Amino acid sequence: MKMLVFGHGYSAGYLTPLLTARGWQVTGTTRDDPARVAAAGADPLIWPGAEDALRAHIAHADAILVSTAPTAGGDPVLAAFRDDLARARPRWLGYLSTTGVYGDRDGGWVDEDSALDGSGPRGQARIRAEGDWQDLARAHDLPLHIFRLAGIYGPGRGPFQKVRDGTARRIIKPGQVFSRIHVEDIAQVLLASIEAPAPIGIYNVCDDDPAPPQDVIGHAATLLGLPLPPEVRFDQAQMSPMARSFYADSKRVRNDRIKRDLGVTLRHPDYRSGLAALLAAES
């Protein structure tokens, strides 16, 4: 079985070992880091730059995963390979989106049937990209699965280093709440879908415990036995425009469908379990 991954990044790096252990051959694209892709067990292809090779892989792939972000001009994979994908016949086609498509809900709950109301250019671009992939899938009978990922954390993407070096802050914005997902759980959700595809499926990929961001930072400090990082009001915090934009949305995301339809039991059902596992792995 052959898997082609467009944008073989952090999440694909955890899926690939699960697939290769089951005998899959994985090929992944990267802009400039083939060594990282190879270290995960995939055959790297530089893209842009390997279009002819990628067209051959599309034609023969049993599964295709798209993990590239849309640009202002649309989805880059569709822009380059729409006609090739229209002719392809994979048994599974996955698109990694984001829960940002739901926009701000003032801390309220959303599920896969909630209206899409993404805030800002990134949220709107994701909504358009999802629609473009769905249009292609319907027009050419492609087995599309859309995965809306919550905030991703995992090895190398946890709060411990900032807490240790004293740069962590507990940003306080009343009512703010985020959903999260450990990268290992992303990988097992994708694997469960690949092994039992049910097109056209849309899945929220998040844990069971939406929580205020300051609680996560505080718990990380407690696990390390260090003082709580100082509290800073959101309107006074020094943050990059990208980091600040994440605070524009506050919502709780339901994950019932990945459990009911895919039979997934989360390894890290809340941030406490996930952070404890990260700290244990560091040790």
Q: What percent of the chain has pLDDT over 70?
A: 99
Q: Where are the domains of the chain?
A: 2-156+181-209+254-269
Residue 204 has pLDDT above 90, yes or no: yes
d(CA 47, CA 54) in angstroms, rounded, equals 9
Is pLDDT at 242 greater than 90 in this prediction?
no
Angle at 16 between CA 28 and CA 145, to 5 degrees: 80
Quote the CA–CA distance of 216 and 247 in Å, as a whole number: 15
Task: Quote the pLDDT of residue 199.
Answer: 67
pLDDT of residue 159: 93
Residues 139, 82 contacting (CB under 8 angstroms):
no
> In which element (H, E) is residue 93 found?
strand 92-98
Write the pLDDT tens digit of every residue in 90-115.
999 999 999 999 999 999 999 999 99
Q: For residue 93, which phi and psi values (nearest 5 degrees)? A: -135, 120
* Mean model confidence pLDDT for the chain: 96
What are the tens digits of pLDDT across the range 184-199? 999 999 999 999 988 6
What is the structure's pLDDT at 72?
85
For residue 60, name the pLDDT band (cuts at 50, 70, 90). very high
| 35-57 pLDDT tens trace | 999 999 999 999 999 999 999 99
Residue 259 has pLDDT above 80, yes or no: yes
Residue 61: band (very low, low, confident or very high) from pLDDT cuts 50, 70, 90? very high
Cα–Cα distance, 123 to 246 (Å, whole number): 11
Q: What is the distance between the alpha carbons of residues 14 and 159, in angstroms, rounded to a whole number?
A: 20
Q: Which residue do the tokens 């009001």 mark?
A: 233
Q: Which fold has domain 2-156+181-209+254-269?
A: Rossmann fold (3.40.50)
CA nearest neighbour of 142 among 73, 197, 77: 197
What pairing do the DSSP bridges indicate for beta strands 92-98 and 231-233? unpaired
Say what the pTM is: 0.96
The residue ranges of DSSP E strands in 206-263, in sequence order, are 231-233, 252-253
**What is the model's pLDDT at position 283?**
83
Task: Please answer whether residues 241 and 157 qualify as being in contact, where contact means their C-beta atoms are separated by less than 8 angstroms.
Answer: no
Residue 120 pLDDT level (bands cut at 50, 70, 90):
confident
Lowest-confidence pick of 18-27, 66-75, 117-126, 186-195: 117-126
Quick one: pLDDT band at residue 125, thresholds 50, 70, 90?
very high
